[in-house]
Amino acid sequence: MKDYTKYKNLYLLCFTDDTPEDAELLFKNVLSKAKLVCEYDNAENPISMLFLMDANIISNGKELPYYYLYAACTHPEHRGKGIMGRLLEKAKEVALNNGKLGIFLKPAKPSLFDFYAKSDFVPFFNVCKIIKSANEFIRLYSPQITNTTKTTMSLWHSIRKDFLNEFNCDYVDFSQDILTTAADGSIPINSKNFGFVYEIRDNLLLVKEALCKRGYINELMSAISHILQNSHCEDIEIRLHPLLKDELTSFSEANVPFSVMWQPSVATNQCNTNRYHGFAFD
Ligand SMILES: CC(C)(COP(=O)(O)OP(=O)(O)OC[C@H]1O[C@@H](n2cnc3c(N)ncnc32)[C@H](O)[C@@H]1OP(=O)(O)O)[C@@H](O)C(=O)NCCC(=O)NCCS
């Protein structure tokens, strides 16, 4: 896609939290290289679109090819006419024609899980989501300066695999290129026994991915607490590997659906703790 201005304008109209600078970076580096599925009005302006990015699921060391669906949106004046439903059907054809085993995505809002279910995209990956006030979290896990290093998303691409290989689970793997360019603004922190990626959004510290070796959950949480204390954020959200849920000792959290999947063979479409999505571009 050479000139993406029209698509970027539709994106900005639909995703009002994003700045024009964010959208420019996203289109320039990622979406202009992704597969576009789109409908236009009579004047050839896009009115509804979605993008398909290459993503693998690693299963027993094998790379299984999938699409990650991103930036699905319909112009406000054309919503509720079934256009996105049609585009999702077209996306499935594109996936099958390109040898993909399925399509997954993270719904932008919890209410959208039902919308995607109508097109047979069902909960597939779950997450242990921890949401607390900063005060409460810091009281539960006292901040500790540990031997951590601020790293890059490019290096995080391989660091996360080292941690994930210990879990013996299937996991999502975006290319190093996509992870580096699309995750602008995310800060990865690494140490020998744990690692995490965070962003600051207004008053929220959002930990988009948090991983550790078995037995090191308290060290991971104390390092996050240290960042939280220095960030002066009021709230924290941590997206933890669902298999680490049982290691939490200070409180218990339920695993909840995180992202949905469509695949032509529906038999395996069940949320399962042995699958890990982790980092998402939201
Ligand atoms: C979600 C969205 C893409 C749907 O596009 P659309 O072309 O209107 O979709 P369709 O006409 O095929 O389907 C409309 C259905 O989506 C439902 N829907 C739309 N937004 C919804 C939301 N936030 N929560 C729950 N359902 C929603 C409508 O209620 C409608 O349901 P119905 O079929 O029972 O009447 C569109 O509302 C949009 O662009 N939203 C803003 C951007 C966004 O959040 N994108 C999703 C990213 S994961």
Secondary structure letter of residue 244 according to DSSP: G
Q: CA-CA distance, 65 to 55, in Å (whole number)? A: 6
- Start-end of H helices in the chain: 5-14, 20-29, 83-97, 112-117, 134-140, 153-165, 176-182, 217-231
Cα 121 to middle of ligand 1, angstroms: 14
pLDDT of residue 269: 55
State the DSSP string of 26-43: HHHHTGGGSEEEEEE-TT
3-state percent helix, strand, coil for the chain, nearest multiple of 5: 35, 35, 35
What's the sign of the alpha-carbon dihedral 208, 65, 177, 189? positive
In short, whether 83's Cβ falls inside 6 Å of ligand 1 is: yes
Kindly state the average pLDDT of the residues 241-251: 86
- Candidates 251, 223, 255, 239; CA nearest to 145 is 223
Which amino acid residue places its CA nearest to atom 17 of ligand 1?
Answer: 115
Between strands 194-201 and 275-276, the pairing is unpaired
Q: State if residue 190 touches ligand 1 by the CB under 6 angstroms criterion.
A: no
Q: pTM, whole model, 2 decimals?
A: 0.94
- Does ligand 1 have an atom closer than 6 angstroms to the CB of 80? yes
CATH code given to domain 127-256: 3.40.630.30
Fold match, 5-105 / 127-256: yes
Domain ranges of the chain: 5-105, 127-256
Question: Terminal CA-to-CA distance of the chain, rounded, Å?
Answer: 22
Phi, psi of 40 (to 5 degrees): -120, 160
Residue of the CA atom closest to atom 2 of ligand 1: 73
Give the ligand 1 atom nearest the CA of 80. 11
> What are the structure tokens assigned to 140, written together?
């539960």
Predicted confidence (pLDDT) per residue in 57-82, tens digit:
999 889 999 999 999 999 999 999 99
Question: Does the CB atom of residue 282 touch ligand 1 within 6 A?
Answer: no
Tokens 């992870």 locate to 179
Q: Residues with Cβ < 8 Å from 109, sequence gap 6 or more?
A: none
Looking at residue 155, its amino acid is L
Q: Above 70 in pLDDT, residue 271?
A: no
- Lookup result for tokens 């600051």: 200
The CATH label, of 2.60.40.10, 1.10.287.470, 2.30.30.60, 3.40.630.30, for the domain at 5-105 is: 3.40.630.30
At residue 265, does pLDDT exceed 80? Answer: no
Ligand 1 atom closest to the Cα of residue 109 is 23
Alpha-helical (H) ranges within 98-216 are 112-117, 134-140, 153-165, 176-182
* Nearest in space to 133 (alpha carbons), one of 50, 225, 33, 270: 225
pLDDT at 45 over 60: yes
Given a cut of 90, whether residue 183 has pLDDT beyond it is no
